[in-house]
Chain A
């Protein structure tokens, strides 16, 4: 029963990945119209256009191109960039590492902080601690990432001169330099992601707190800490794991802004540059990587919540 559900989820995940590939392909290869025209601009002659179309394979029907592209994608060939004709795989390689490094640090810091603060706020609802946490996180999730980033720069770099405003990694910084360079993007992302996670953890727990079995626990004289950690948390694990995975996925959009504002050499920055120069093959490749990561994370969240349900783990 449980295996069946997990398998079903995985199949749906694969299906979603496929639909995503179609969407990305349509978005970047069909909707824009004549890519050759875009590349060569208005001044191109019909001959050069035709030549480029043939070179790009644009003269073939769209579904042939799609399956060609999909085949290459699956074997790891992401095509060539318009700019300078470099292989996209090589462009992406280093950038992907940087982005994953950033996301990894953010996750490692924000997950424990958020779950702890969320639990604490749920444990003492209505107190000052809870009110401050709720108001602060509500405000933080209401503003765009660049709002937080801008204020971080204002406070930490401009006013206090503690940190540099821009992160540039050359690849051979000392540990201290690296830490200083990363500090600003990391802090910004941690704030953005944690605010969401704290709220959702708190809401997840309080949602369970409405159940009659929590009232029963109170009437059995069970202490507050045990009610939260044993009675509520065990029922909220599914939702909380879900929250964590969702927010890691949410990091995907966070890095887009943060990498841009701090000039951090990650994949998102590469993609934005690609969009600005309408380098469609590059955008295509980056979009596929981001979307696939997102879909996989959500899939993990789904599976985690199935696994945490005792009704499914212990069949009748």
Chain B
């Protein structure tokens, strides 16, 4: 194979204010061959994006090249003239960013942006470029390919923009593409489509690619060669097969461990049916909620409709759904942050007031909310001592030395050293901040802990550790959890019961084991089958055998009547599903599915299970 890009002993530095260098990339070497997809995998701080950008002779502002070579077709990019570097960017090497929504210029039509690079570099005339762009739109399976170019970025969906960015990169027929976490911001069901499109188009164009990601399962689907990075250094590199199936380095093995197993029955804790008390900790009854001014008792935008959820004492209820399905809203209603429009929230058998201000201090104490982003959830101007100490003082009247003592105990509970108490949040890492975030809620001694995507912003290893911690806390404290996540694997490994939300309604709920085995709601099945597996060839198997491909590319529509999943459901019954609300079918042990189909029709297994088995 021909060597396309050669990175040799690459060093990149940032500079402190006093001018001393901080090494970011510490001597990295690897090659990219023609037609090859090389994955750079690592967690935040590993330098993977910084390294990938060196293929465009570019560093983010504040960083600079400090040594080494980046040779494209044998020519060193780092020592090339600025004009030569500009000439190569977009022509020989193209870049795809993580967030297409931010990367497309909002004031210029999509078509102009897609063709811009090819025309500017004189590779194609405007007409040729338009024609090529249209072909690319078709092969990326974008809707309305002859006219989508006339639109502005805000007029198309996120998944479509992500694919349009691929068209933008490919339009100038580059030799090498740099893809920086291109599917990370997408929902799992959309991610498959985009991954599939990328893979197909890379293959068709016979282009080489550097694929930057933190997600091993995604890497397994797309990469030929893998470079594992940590702290700006290569830990290990080798063919995808070797790294996935036979990792040699301890860090790589650690990364693989953090990948949660495919959600399947038997992962969750077993529900014994015995509770400490007879009353459920928290019950939500016939609840509807939304945003905006109320008209005739209905909010302007209804986000949740007729929700019934029960959190038993000491149990973990996982709430799963894609972005916009209303899962965070559910937690906010439970916490009283968003008063519901209809229905009830019952705590320990007592009706809770909808509005926070009408709840008693003790009621507030019992339900604690843990935010997704520890960065914004912790006041940057308060020391950790004060952040954790305040709930102790506020709810329990603990002051002075005793407070100090308790803060240290709580820090110990979340496995952080006591001396962290004197620090400010900015002096901690992401995972440490998330622990403080948890610690603050624990300090209230709550009965129900509402965790909203608490691991989503964290690296996989750190996230896995936080889940481990949550498991310990559950056993130690007997707190009930509502655990909200878009990641089914994480939910499945932690929750006793799962609630599946779609477009503001519960489509299925029940004990974890029950939800993860047939009969499935069609949406649950789509979700389960969309979770990437750490197995080479999974993408092909899934796409090929997926009977529900019809619906994936379509967006979520929030409907007032009928089943919300109607427009994406492969088994939808026209004239029934779109007109009447789906009946709730009661199955064994509290398992409920809201679907018009007979239970026997829902028995279908996940396709690849059938094929792989």
Contacts and interface: CB of A to CB of B under 8 A. Distances in A.
Do A and B touch (CB < 8 Å)? yes
Interface of A: 211-213, 215-223, 226, 230-231, 234-235, 310-311, 314, 316
A231 B103 CA distance: 12
Give the residue among A211, A216, A310, A314 with the most B Cβ atoms within 10 A. A216
A218 B93 CA distance: 12
Nearest to B108: A234
A216 B97 contact: yes
A184 B116 CA distance: 48
Contacts of A222: 90, 116-117, 120
Contacts of B56: 219
A221 B168 CA distance: 13
B106 A235 contact: yes
B88 A221 contact: yes
A248 B509 CA distance: 63
Contacts of B86: 221, 223
B106 A221 contact: no
Interface residues of B, number: 29
A311 B106 contact: yes
B566 interface: no
Given A220-B116, A230-B108, A316-B155, 15 more contacts: A211-B102, A212-B102, A213-B105, A217-B105, A218-B58, A219-B89, A220-B94, A220-B117, A221-B87, A221-B90, A222-B117, A226-B120, A231-B108, A234-B105, A314-B155
Given A217-B105, A221-B90, A311 B154 contact: yes
Interface in B80-117: 86-91, 94-95, 97, 99, 102-108, 116-117
Contacts of B105: 211, 213, 216-217, 231, 234-235
Contacts of B102: 211-213
B103 A213 contact: yes
B89 A218 contact: yes
A234 B103 contact: no
A234 B116 CA distance: 15
How would you classify the secondary structure of chain A's contact residues: helix, strand, loop or mixed? helix
A214 to B, nearest CB: 8
Interface in B145-180: 151-152, 154-155, 168
A213 B105 CA distance: 5
A234 B120 CA distance: 18
B97 A310 contact: no
B310 interface: no
A314 B156 CA distance: 12
12 contacts: A211-B105, A213-B102, A216-B104, A219-B56, A220-B120, A223-B86, A231-B105, A234-B108, A311-B106, A311-B152, A311-B154, A314-B155
A316 B160 CA distance: 14
B91 A221 contact: yes
Contacts of A314: 151-152, 154-155
Given A218-B58, A219-B95, A316-B155, A212 B103 contact: yes
A220 B97 contact: no
A234 B155 contact: no
B58 A221 contact: no
Given A221-B89, A222-B120, A234 B107 contact: yes
Nearest to B89: A221
Interface in B526-566: none
Nearest to B102: A212
A216 B91 CA distance: 13
